[in-house]
Structure 1
Amino acid sequence: MSLADQVLAVNDDLPIRTDKPVHSGKVRSVYWLTEADSRRLIEEKGYNVAPDAPLAIMVISDRISAFDCIWHGEGGMKGVPGKGAALNAISNHWFKLFRDNDLAESHILDIPHPFIWIVQKAKPVMIEAICRQYITGSMWRSYSKGERDFCGIEVPEGLNKDQKLPELLITPSTKGILEGIPGVPAVDDVNITRKNIEENFEAFNFRNTDDINHYEKLLQEGFDVISSELEKLDQIFVDTKFEFGYVTDASGKEKLIYMDEVGTPDSSRIWDAAAYRDGKIVENSKEDFRQLLLNHFPDPDILLNKDRMEERSALARDNALPEEVLMQVSKIYTDIAEKITGKKIVLSKNPKAEITAILRDQYGLVD
């Protein structure tokens, strides 16, 4: 069996029973279950959700996106072997730790297979909640050009690239395009201040202003839990993105929960601490792949300049990356997942067949 066969690249064509279009994102596809199937599973499995809560099957893939494009490799490799299973395993590990530490629940109700989650529908908070413990990446690029105000927070003079910040910074940005918020441009992923959020909390889907404090508390606590665990593995949690949403439990209580994935190499920067002490940066996250792309193509500005999106899309479409590049990325993802979880990441021989069989035989979701 070739490596390409073990990569789950297309994940929106599984025979899962649904009466709605499959939503396919950069990495995950979401299948909304029928109302009857949602009710049946809630009853059969005893999920702690409202009896009429909409449920979905979320299927991860091995696709890799960077600079808003999906990349592929030679030999028909449409993704990175082991990446999907590694991301899910890491998220599952952190979500369990959050529960163990009484932080908050996540949208995940069940994990039938390493590639899939059964999730409840949440009303998302329209914020990409970003925490930064070190100055690097886009923040450093802006700082080096003289910017000192980040999301309404004044950052001191005299910082060096990749230096630890005096305190953990929360630098939120918009999730999706939000119209009609004073001082906030209607574009995706634009930086916002806490004042923007307070003055327009309903536009961001917060129920009340107290929940802004609660979201910041969950953000800080979630960051601290992951950071201290990674420290034990001699790894540095540099920065990360969290997402939040509201759900209602079986008793009718509404609560703010963690959504999407947490603490993964896709949503975070993780550095090797031993290398950092020696003055070197060794990335154990997707940032390594981004750097690899910047070095691989002769004109890196295409990847960094949003005005050159058409050229960038063509670059991703027309260039198959060398197999060793994708295997290097595979090693980063699987190594850090195994380090965090203490368990081996096993590549599925035929992920689609496995997923279909489990959802048919154990959940009755395939005709």
Structure 2
Amino acid sequence: MDALKETNFQFLGQTGFYRGKVRDVYYFGTKLAIVATDRISAFDVVLPRAIPYKGQVLNQIAAHHLKATSDIVPNWILSQPNPNVAVGYFCEPYRVEMVIRGYLAGHAWREYQQGKRMLCGVPLPEGLKENDPLPEPIITPSTKATEGHDEDISREEIIAQGIVPEAEYVQLENYTRALFKRGTEMGAKQGLILVDTKYEFGKYDGQVYLIDEIHTPDSSRYFYANGYEERQKNGEPQKQLSKEFVRQWLIENNFQGKAGQTVPEMTDEQVNLISERYLELYESVTGQKFVKTGYDGILERIEKSIKENIF
């Protein structure tokens, strides 16, 4: 086995199971264990081949940043007993993703390029170029879809539709801005610009918790700070660490997750390239050397770690 595509465990005391785009989630009453597999998704489609070490990268970056932000908002994690596993509280998730952007990139740029000057109810100024900084970070939430694409939604619509009560939504906004500020500061120490990211929140025992992963290449976009100004001035693409290079490869091969489109062939070369980019991102974001745990006996190790740490 050279990548972890999926798990199919059956635990004593298990109360449920959910397979997400990239994670396998095992429920145990008030707790859960999340296995970060090596599956990769783009445009809300799971791609046909898994990426070696991607799951370990995401799980360990998330744990690194959750620990570093626990003074801002409590988070769901209780332990990380395996490089691909996190164990924590089962929180009831809010049905929105809190997306925050400091720069005009990715989805926001694609919308802007089409002439839109309002994103999720937030006005955007004229005259911006791709990857320009925004006057100040903006929150552009999306609905959390169980299937298909997440949809942009405004603050006003969220409150009017009763998706999140207003007082709680204000709390989520405040947490989002504080987390983005901390993530920006941590990135700057590593010579990185945190461009945009998303946060997810849930409730456990009446309290708001930060859930899921944070500041990973799947949930965030980073630019290298070195050379940013010069590249921007010359109208050159920014050197970035994120999953955007996967999206761009798919776009260049006529795939954006739309009906009738086919995922291009993922060659060994392409898979290895993506894996190398994830390892690069881990070391750039955390400042730590990535240690490959290997795939021999990985399923047995994961299963054992969950059994020993869930109760």
TM-score, scaled relative to structure 1: 0.77
* Distance across 2 between alignment mates of 1:131 and 1:257: 18
Residue 321 of structure 1 corresponds to 266
1:13-162 correspondence to structure 2 within 5 Å: 13-33=8-28, 35=29, 54-72=30-48, 78-99=49-70, 102-162=71-131
- Contact (CA 8 Å) 1:81, 1:347: kept in 2 or not? no
SS state at 1:214 partner: helix
- Contact (CA 8 Å) 2:97, 2:141: kept in 1 or not? yes
Structure 1 position 126, deviation (Å): 0.9
Residue 208 of structure 2 corresponds to 256
Q: 1:287 aligned to 2:244?
A: yes
* Distance across 1 between alignment mates of 2:265 and 2:127: 42
Structure 1 position 326, deviation (Å): 1.5
- Contact (CA 8 Å) 1:82, 1:345: kept in 2 or not? no
Q: 1:220 aligned to 2:213?
A: no
* Distance across 1 between alignment mates of 2:186 and 2:281: 13
- The AA in structure 1 aligned to 2:20 is G
Structure 1 position 345, deviation (Å): 2.4
* Distance across 1 between alignment mates of 2:10 and 2:84: 15
1:195-206 correspondence to structure 2 within 5 Å: 195-200=156-161, 203-204=162-163, 206=164
Instruction: Answer 1 or 2: which has greater strand percent.
Output: 2
Query: What is the Cα-based RMSD across aligned positions, in Å?
Result: 2.1
* Distance across 1 between alignment mates of 2:310 and 2:16: 20
- The AA in structure 1 aligned to 2:299 is K
* Distance across 2 between alignment mates of 1:17 and 1:338: 37
* Distance across 1 between alignment mates of 2:95 and 2:267: 37
- Contact (CA 8 Å) 2:43, 2:257: kept in 1 or not? no
SS state at 1:22 partner: strand
Structure 1 position 264, deviation (Å): 0.6
Structure 1 position 218, deviation (Å): 0.4
SS state at 1:240 partner: strand
SS state at 2:302 partner: helix
Structure 2 spans left out of the alignment, 5+ residues: 232-236
* Distance across 2 between alignment mates of 1:21 and 1:359: 14
- Contact (CA 8 Å) 1:173, 1:189: kept in 2 or not? yes
Q: 1:364 to 1:281 in 2, by over 3 A?
A: closer
1:181-202 per-residue CA deviation (whole Å, 9 max, x = no partner) reads xxxxxx85222222222333xx
Structure 1 position 330, deviation (Å): 1.2
Structure 1 position 114, deviation (Å): 0.9
Q: 1:231 aligned to 2:178?
A: no
- Contact (CA 8 Å) 2:196, 2:222: kept in 1 or not? yes
Q: Which runs of 4+ in 1 moved over 6 A?
A: none
Number of residue equivalences:
304
Residue 271 of structure 1 corresponds to 223
* Distance across 1 between alignment mates of 2:207 and 2:9: 32
* Distance across 2 between alignment mates of 1:190 and 1:68: 11
Q: 1:210 aligned to 2:167?
A: yes
1:80-131 per-residue CA deviation (whole Å, 9 max, x = no partner) reads 11111110111111111111xx211111111111111112111111111110
- Contact (CA 8 Å) 2:44, 2:257: kept in 1 or not? no
Q: 1:305 to 1:28 in 2, by over 3 A?
A: closer
TM-score, scaled relative to structure 2: 0.90
- Contact (CA 8 Å) 2:223, 2:238: kept in 1 or not? yes
Higher radius of gyration, 1 or 2? 1
- Contact (CA 8 Å) 1:82, 1:346: kept in 2 or not? no
SS state at 1:129 partner: strand
* Distance across 2 between alignment mates of 1:58 and 1:216: 26
SS state at 2:151 partner: coil
Structure 1 position 61, deviation (Å): 0.2
Instruction: Answer 1 or 2: which has greater helix percent.
Output: 1
- Contact (CA 8 Å) 1:6, 1:348: kept in 2 or not? no
- Contact (CA 8 Å) 2:33, 2:310: kept in 1 or not? no
* Distance across 1 between alignment mates of 2:192 and 2:242: 11
* Distance across 2 between alignment mates of 1:219 and 1:363: 30
Identity %: 31
Structure 1 position 320, deviation (Å): 4.0
- Contact (CA 8 Å) 2:54, 2:278: kept in 1 or not? yes
